[in-house]
Chains A and B, each alone.
Chain A
Amino acid sequence: MTGLESFANPTTIGPMYPFVGSEGFLTIVLVAAWLIWQIWQIGSESREMAEQSRKARENRK
């Protein structure tokens, strides 16, 4: 079981998502995903920009 098994008494229900208690781990996952994506974006754009720059210089010759 990952979370709740009954909605019978709603006034007693607090957090409803599965795996309550994993919030710290989930936060670490989100921080990692953000930083990895940001670093990937910088690298990817830099490589593409270098290629665009090379092609633009060739076209001018």
Chain B
Amino acid sequence: MDTDIGGLTVIFTEFYYWVTVVMMFLIHVGFCVYEVGASRRKNLQHTLMKNTMLIPVISVTFFLFGWWLYWGTVNGPWINGGISVAPFATPWSELMGTHMGGAPVTPDLTAGDTALWARVNGVFWAAFLLFSWTTASIISGSIIERVKTQAFLIIATIVGSVTWIIDAAWGWSPAGWMVQLMGYHDAYASGVVHAIAGGSALAVLIVLGPRIGKFGPNGEVRDIPLHNPWLVTIGLFLIYTGFWGFYAACNIPIIDIDATEEAVFLSATNIYLMPTTLSAITFNFILSLSGGLMVGYMVSKANPFWTYSGGLAGVISASAGNDLYHPIQAFIVAAVCVFVAYKMHYWVERKFKIDDAVGAVAVHGYCGFFGVVIAGVLLWGYPAATPSGDPGVAWFGSTAEGFPAINPIGNFLGAIIMFWVLGFIPIYIVAKILSAFGMLRVPAEVEIAGLDVGKYTDPYPNFSAAEPEFERIQRSQQK
């Protein structure tokens, strides 16, 4: 802030992240609209309140410990070093409040800390917080119409303020041990947001079980009609819009990337401080969206739900490498992954009787997993990040300059860590505990009657209630 250009850079960075946070709010608006549309009339207010209340619960816990976990656990800890010191990220830090950047009051901070963090800590914290909401909200949609809000909020807290942010520390930070030692690369969070959310959703779905009547006595799959397909599509449009803000939020907007002392070369970078441009990621966002929409439309035979979901899944699939791909590569990655994920969704549904109400495991989990794996192949040999310690020590190869190199093994193992190790396993255990205490699933008679019934008034009092075919089946199954 002591020169004009320095001051403008800081103020621009602060404003940039603030704008991305506001844009990303649309993701949550979209998820709420989408889930309400996907719920039946008798459940929609319960669905809305469940997803809305993750906002305060995750925000509070992310303030208390989530933000510190991002900075404190980059080394594992004890994989590539110990617990990192992050005095600007503790809830009692003066830098977690209104601050002008002058000399610190508390002894654990330096003047450099306050000068750097005073104006960016809040907006940077909020950007990561919005990613937390998204990660938890992905799970929310898959388990609608039978999960208790109390269980969901506990799971949301663990995913939103613990497991996802640890995976971000490991694989979505230039100093993260997965980046430094494995060459892990996941620029726009195919794995660190979507694969972990998909893995977590699958764990809850297995413990929770399907909605009553979803599967017939001979294992046949019954379609549960959406309450309002238009809300679903508007919700997904809003999620697309917010996702653009998410892409911008994953970048550092302006920084000197020239390694020499003599020259200055200002550029945007990805989260790993490696160069990219807003122009590149805009190309790639739109082409991967297009690839996903076209294949989603094709494989679902123009089903609106799967066409829109295909667009979202396409972006998720290409996100790991969308800082560097050519737009046509992004298109192809999206198209292939959406085709495979769509087929896998129905195969898993039939084979394992998994009732994923919105296809979240496929759209986020499978596409996020495949997207990370493909990025490891297509970007093989690119520098992943500047070495934080000794150069040339990465497990699966380094560049000639000693930078950890992006590679297929590192990204494949990284995808497993995201989906299974940090996504599936912890949440499976938590869901089992919640189930054992009777906190996970609503009673059958409440599920049949509707989760809104007896608590909320009819949201459509001027429309007559029609009982669709599935409701009759569900009711008969209870007798």
Q: Point out residues on A near B: beta carbons under 8 Å.
A: 10-17, 20-21, 23-24, 26-27, 30-31, 33-34, 37-38, 41-42, 45-46, 48-49, 51-53, 55-57, 59-60
CA distance A60 to B102 in the complex (A): 68
- Give, as a whole number of angstroms, the nearest-CB distance from A58 to chain B: 10
Judging by beta carbons under 8 Å apart, are A14 and B100 in contact?
yes
Binding stretch for chain A, among B275-283, B413-421, B449-457, B459-467? B449-457
B150 at the interface (CB under 8 A from A): yes
| A30-B64, A51-B454 known; A56 vs B102 contact (CB < 8 Å) | no
28 CB < 8 A contacts A-B:
A10-B100, A13-B100, A13-B102, A14-B94, A20-B105, A23-B91, A23-B93, A23-B94, A27-B64, A27-B91, A30-B64, A34-B60, A34-B61, A34-B64, A41-B153, A45-B149, A45-B150, A48-B455, A49-B148, A49-B446, A52-B453, A52-B454, A52-B455, A53-B446, A55-B449, A56-B445, A56-B446, A56-B448
Q: Are A11 and B449 in contact (CB under 8 A)?
A: no
**Shortest Cβ distance from B61 into A: residue:** A34
B112 within 8 A of A: no
**B443 lies within 8 A of chain A by Cβ:** yes
The residue in chain A whose Cβ has the minimal distance to the Cβ of B114 is A14
Q: A45, B148: Cβ atoms under 8 Å?
A: yes
Chain B residue with the shortest CB-CB distance to A44: B150
Chain B interface mostly: loop
Taken residue by residue from 68 to 111, chain B's Cβ proximity to chain A (1 for < 8 Å, 0 otherwise) reads as: 00000000000000000000000111101111111111000000
B100 to A17, Cβ gap below 8 A? no
The answer to whether A41 touches B150, judged by C-beta atoms less than 8 angstroms apart, is: yes
Nearest A residue to B479, CB-CB = A60
Nearest-CB distance from B437 to chain A (Å)? 10
Instruction: Let me know if B454 and A15 touch, CB within 8 A.
Output: no
Min distance, Cβ A51 to any Cβ of chain B, angstroms: 7
Chain A neighbourhood of B443, CB < 8 A: 49, 52-53, 56
Point out the residues of chain A lying under 8 angstroms from B449, CB to CB: 52, 55-56, 59
Asked whether B453 lies within 8 Å of A56 as measured between CB atoms, the reply is: yes
In the bound complex, how far is the Cα of B268 from the Cα of A48, in angstroms?
Answer: 51
Contacts of B99 in A (CB 8 A): 14-16
Give every chain B residue within 8 A of A56 (Cβ-Cβ).
Answer: 443, 445-446, 448-449, 453-454
Alpha-carbon distance A14/B154, docked complex (angstroms): 36
Contact A15 B445 (CB under 8 A): no
| Residue of A whose beta carbon sits closest to that of B475 | A60
Q: Is B57 an interface residue (CB 8 A)?
A: yes
Q: Which of A17, A46, A55 contacts B98 (CB 8 A)?
A: A17
Min distance, Cβ A61 to any Cβ of chain B, angstroms: 11
Chain B, 143-185, CB within 8 A of any chain A CB? 148-150, 153-154
Closest Cβ neighbor of B91 among chain A residues? A27
Contacts of B105 in A (CB 8 A): 14-15, 20-21
A53 touches B445 (CB 8 A): yes
Contact A55 B153 (CB under 8 A): no
The listed residue (A12, A16, A23, A42) touching B439 by CB distance below 8 A is A42
User: Contact at A46–B101, with CB atoms within 8 Å?
Assistant: no
- Nearest-Cβ distance from residue A60 to partner chain B, whole angstroms: 7
Q: Which residues of B contact A53 (CB under 8 A)?
A: 443, 445-446
The reply to whether the CB of B286 lies closer than 8 angstroms to some CB of chain A is: no
Chain A residues with CB below 8 A from B153, complex form: 38, 41
Question: B64 near A15 (CB under 8 angstroms)?
Answer: no
* Distance in Å: Cβ of B110 to nearest Cβ of chain A: 12
B244 interfacial contact with A, CB 8 Å: no
| CA A27 to CA B104, docked complex, whole Å | 19
Q: Note all chain B residues with C-beta closer than 8 A to A11.
A: 1, 102
CA distance A49 to B1 in the complex (A): 56
Q: Which residue of A lies closest to B447 (CB)?
A: A56
| A21 CA / B93 CA spacing, docked (Å) | 10
A-facing residues in B106-122 (Cβ within 8 Å):
114
New A-B pairs, 20, CB < 8 Å, besides A13-B102, A17-B98: A13-B101, A14-B94, A14-B100, A15-B98, A15-B105, A21-B105, A23-B94, A27-B92, A30-B63, A34-B61, A37-B57, A38-B154, A41-B149, A42-B150, A46-B150, A48-B455, A49-B443, A51-B454, A52-B455, A56-B448
Given contacts A15-B99, A15-B105, contact A49 B442 (CB under 8 A): yes
Q: How far is the CA of A46 from the CA of B63 in the complex (A)?
A: 28
Least Cβ–Cβ distance between B442 and chain A, in angstroms: 6
